[in-house]
Structure 1
Amino acid sequence: MHVEEWLQAIPAIWIYVIVGGVIGVESLGIPLPGEVVLVSAALLSAQHVVSPLWVGVCASAGAIVGDSIGYAIGRRGGQPLFDRLARRFPKHFGPAHIAKAQQTFDRWGMWAVFFGRFIALLRILAGPLAGALHMPYWRFLVANVLGGIAWAGGTTAVIYYLGVAADRWLKGFSWVALVVALLFGLGTTLLIKRRAGRVAATGAGPADQRSMSVTSSE
């Protein structure tokens, strides 16, 4: 079952809880499809199943709280934490992934936390890695809050308005598509009849000529 179909089958309040919970757990450093859940919930809000405001609020809260807990875990666990995660999730926490994320943090600092929200790898690693590298918490918190709101709120708003616009366009397009289909069907029918008439005339010509030659010989 598609994520959007699964979300549509449960009450609205639980959709908010799932959105905040999945994004929060993902921000702890556990690879979950947080972005997929957020986009699916935002699409449901465009269909008036849930409120886009509460989707954005719950997603932002989950991102901020999850990243903060991830920061605390990373600060306490340090490098041994990433070694254990690499053994359990080699596709997400392998040495190459950690090295790339550390280079990004060394170069961009708190901006890595902010923009990391928009990048799949850093979205999982930002909190724990910032804690393990002992980034000052106040700097992390500012970047975490701003990044969480920008990513969750921005994504919800963009998907919501795109969904509303697409729904209106498709409703108008349905009539256009019907007219085009009818015209195409009529045109195809006339073309087939015309070609069939030509084939029949072409086939009758030689037959008539043969009939005429037989008659004349007689």
Structure 2
Amino acid sequence: MFQDLAQWMLEWAGSPYAVWALFFIAVAESSFFPIPPDILLIALVLNDPDRGMYLATVTTAGSVIGGGIGYFIGFWGGRPILKRFVAENIIGRVQRQFDRYGGWAVGIAGFTPIPYKIFTIASGAFALKLSVFVVMSLAGRGGRFFAVAGSIKLFGAQMVELIERYFNIGSLVLIVVIAGSAFLVHLLRKAEPV
């Protein structure tokens, strides 16, 4: 099924409506669609590298708008709606991420292969401040899509192979850096006199 959806997305790359398809796939993926827009973004940037940053902007905008839809689904539906999308044990793990990292959890999920849609819905269900959600979504999703588009623009097809091979490792390194930064900020805040 995923292979068919991915193939369908790649067929859009040659369409005059490809940018609109990219935008709507990014919106849908952030709230309910199972295939990330990266596939179409990569195909479009390979096809026209000079439009890479524009395409990353379109993808980021669509993803953050879709994330906002997910946020309000969670906000209005609460934990019961979250239970319709994910198992209770996963909800518990997501809740612990929010308790531990706050908005950073959204940024990390937005950048990595962690299903972002779970965090968009959870953000609303757990009443994360909307402004924090938007800023961290822009940072995480923008970081991801601009990194993909920029690397494809600079290195072409060789970068596609590297992304496929090492994306999870790169994401893990980024998570460690972000978590370390968050921990350092936490320690510094704790050390401040009241």
Q: Same fold (TM over 0.5)?
A: yes
Q: Distance in 2 between matches of 1:33 and 1:149?
A: 17
Rate the CA distance shift 1:48–1:130 in 2: closer, same or farther, 3 A. Answer: same
State yes or no: 1:17 paired with 2:45: no
2 CA distance for matches of 1:122 and 1:5? 21
Whichever residue aligns with residue 73 of structure 2, its letter is I
Report the counterpart of residue 80 of structure 1 in structure 2: 80
2-side partners of 1:150 and 1:64: how far apart?
12
- Within a 5 Å distance, the mapping from 1:1-218 to structure 2 comes to 2=7, 5-11=10-16, 14-28=17-31, 30-34=32-36, 37-48=37-48, 51-85=51-85, 93-163=86-156
The number of aligned residues is 155
Gaps of 5+ in 1: 86-92, 168-218
> 2:29 corresponds to which letter in structure 1?
E
**Match for 1:111: what amino acid?**
W
Divergent runs of 4+, >4 A: 164-167
How has the CA–CA distance of structure 1 residues 133 and 143 changed in structure 2, closer, same or farther, with 3 Å as cutoff? same
Deviation per CA, 1:3-27, whole angstroms, max 9, x where unpaired? 575133312xx21111111111111
Q: Is the 8 A contact 2:27 2:65 kept in 1?
A: yes
Per the alignment, residue 171 of structure 1 pairs with: none
Tell which structure's C-alpha radius of gyration is larger. Answer: 1
Unaligned runs of 5+ in 2: 161-194
> Closer, same or farther in 2 for the Cα pair 1:50/1:40, shift >3 Å?
farther
- State the Cα deviation string for residues 128-151 of structure 1 (Å, max 9, x = none): 101100111222222122222212
The TM-score with structure 1 as length reference comes to 0.62
Q: Structure 1 residues 164, 126: CA separation in 2 closer, same or farther (over 3 Å shift)?
A: same
Instruction: Give 1:69 deviation, angstroms.
Output: 1.6
* Shift in Å, 1:75: 0.7
Q: Measure, in 1, the Cα distance between the counterparts of 2:89 and 2:80.
A: 16
Query: Contact 1:8–1:49 (CA<8 Å) still a contact in 2?
Result: no
Q: Indicate the percent of aligned positions where both proteins have the same amino acid.
A: 21
Q: Which residue type is aligned with residue 120 of structure 2?
A: G
In 2 relative to 1, CA 8–65 (structure 1 residues): closer, same or farther, beyond 3 Å? closer
Task: Name the one with the larger helix percent.
Answer: 1
RMSD: 2.5
Contact 2:52 2:153 in 1 (8 A): yes
**Distance (Å, rounded) in 1 between the aligned partners of 2:128 and 2:159:** 43
Aligned to 1:120, the other structure's residue is in SS state coil
SS of structure 2 residue aligned to 1:82: helix
Deviation string 1:81-139 (CA, Å, 9 cap, x unpaired) is 02223xxxxxxx22233222222111111101111112333412121101100111222
Judging changes above 3 Å, is the alpha-carbon distance between structure 1 residues 105 and 25 closer, same or farther for their aligned structure 2 residues? Answer: same
